[in-house]
């Protein structure tokens, strides 16, 4: 009996290891700094740097990086993502960010924490290029 249980737990662990997934990706986005006038011409823009930032998402009663009872129709992540992009633009002293990629994922450790669909963690990764 213990051997069967061990094999079952091992099989579930292996499946979870291969089950990490990306549930949402948006690429090619742009954002300007708050209160900054837009550049009249792309030739005015000067490369300032690239950034990558990860945000841990805590949700409850649902699937990791998927629908949950508390986030259906909510825009709470929009504010966190926008604030992160604005902080990166300010950090580089930039005017705008381009080629922004936003990726919402559930990795192996998120899925392990998502037992019985009570706690549903995930991660949002934001990458982009800042211009002055």
Q: Reply yes or no on whether the pLDDT at 91 is more than 90.
A: yes
| Token duo for residue 54 | 């990860």
CA distance 52 to 74: 24
Q: Which of 132, 125, 130 is nearest to 24 (CA)?
A: 125
Query: What average pLDDT does the segment 116-129 reach?
Result: 88
Q: Which helix (H) or strand (E) holds 53?
A: strand 47-57
For the stretch 24-54, pLDDT in tens is 788 888 888 876 666 666 777 899 999 999 9
User: Whole-model pTM?
Assistant: 0.76
For the stretch 53-88, pLDDT in tens is 999 888 878 777 777 776 655 556 788 899 999 999
- Please compute Rg for the chain using Cα positions: 19
pLDDT of residue 19: 60
């Amino acid at each position: 009996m213990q051997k069967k249980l061990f094999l079952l737990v091992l099989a579930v662990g292996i499946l979870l290891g291969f089950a990490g997934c990306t549930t949402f990706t948006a690429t090619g986005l742009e954002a300007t700094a708050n209160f900054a006038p837009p550049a009249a011409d792309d030739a005015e823009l000067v490369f300032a740097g690239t950034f990558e930032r990860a945000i841990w998402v805590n949700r409850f009663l649902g699937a990791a990086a998927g629908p949950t009872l508390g986030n259906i129709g909510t825009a709470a992540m929009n504010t966190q993502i926008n604030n992160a992009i604005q902080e990166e633009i300010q950090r580089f002293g930039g005017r705008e960010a381009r080629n922004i990629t936003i990726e919402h994922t559930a990795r192996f450790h998120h899925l392990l924490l998502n037992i019985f669909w009570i706690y549903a963690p995930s991660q949002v990764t934001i990458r982009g290029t800042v211009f002055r």
